[in-house]
Amino acid sequence: MNRSGWVFGVILLILLVLLSGMPHPAAAQEFTPPETSMKKGVHLGLFGIGTRLGADFKQNDQIVSSITLDLGNVGSDRFRLRGSSEIGFGSPPDTYLGALEVVYRFTRDIEPAVPYVGAGVGVWGHQNCDGFTLEDTCPAVWPMFALGFELRLSNKFNWLLEYHSEQTFSRHRLFIGITTRRS
C-alpha cells in the first residue's frame, strides 16, 4: 500500500469516528400501538353509571332527577347502549320516564372531552296516569334525542352536560351530572 492510500484510509477512519459521535438531528417517530379495546360486535354488561339533575322546560316548575346505565357496546366502542330513568317532581303531576337509547361517542373514552349524540325510545307516564288527557296520552311511548358531552373529572369520573329532547322535540330537558368512566 502506498503512502497516499494509507493517509486516505486513516483520514476516512477518523472522519467516521467523528461522525458517529455527533448527535443525529433525525430521530425515529414515536410508535403508538393500535388501540386493543376496539372490539366489534355486541358486548353487554354494566360498564358505567351516571346521575343527572336537570330541568324540564315544558313544565317550568319541574326538576328532573335521572340515573343512566352504560349497558354495553353495539358494533364498536363508540356506539353505546344506554338505559335511563327520569323522575320529574315539583310541578304536579310528577312524571316518570324509562328509556333505552343508542349513543354515538365522537371520541374515545381516554380523551379529556367526549361529545356524543344519541337516539332512542322512552315510556312516559305521570302521577295520575288514568288514561287520555287533552295534553298527553298516558302512558305514552316517546321518541327521544340526546346531545351532550363529558369532561374528565378524574380517571374514573366525568362531568356530564346533556340536552334531552323527548316527545318528538316538543319537550326539552337540560341535565348536569356525573358519570363513571371506563378504565
Q: Are 69 and 77 in contact (CB under 8 A)?
A: no
Residue 11 in domain: no
Most confident of 35-39, 105-109, 168-172: 105-109
Chain segment 142-181, per-residue pLDDT in tens: 899 999 999 998 888 899 999 988 887 888 889 999 998 7
Structural domain including 60 reads: 43-180
- The residue with cell 371506563 is 182
Q: What is the dihedral of CA 64, 112, 39, 146, to 10 degrees?
A: 30
10 φ, ψ (degrees, to nearest 5):
-65, -45
132 φ, ψ (degrees, to nearest 5):
-75, 130
Count of domains observed in the chain: 1
Calculate mean pLDDT across residues 120-143.
75
Residue 131 has pLDDT above 60, yes or no: no
**Amino acid found at 15:** L
* Pairwise CA distance, residues 110 & 15, whole Å: 49
Residue 106 has pLDDT above 60, yes or no: yes
* Pairwise CA distance, residues 147 & 26, whole Å: 45
* Pairwise CA distance, residues 160 & 51, whole Å: 9
Residue 166 in domain: yes
* CATH (domain of 155): 2.40.160.20
Residue 21 in domain: no
Residue 129 in domain: yes
pLDDT-derived band at 43, boundaries 50, 70, 90 = confident
Residue 75 in domain: yes
- Does the pTM of the predicted model rise above 0.85? no
Q: Are 171 and 165 in contact (CB under 8 A)?
A: yes
Q: What is the pLDDT of residue 175?
A: 93
* Pairwise CA distance, residues 51 & 68, whole Å: 6
Residue 174 in domain: yes
**What residues are paired with 70 via a beta bridge?**
48, 82
Q: What is the pLDDT of residue 33?
A: 47
Residue 37 in domain: no
Residue 95 in domain: yes
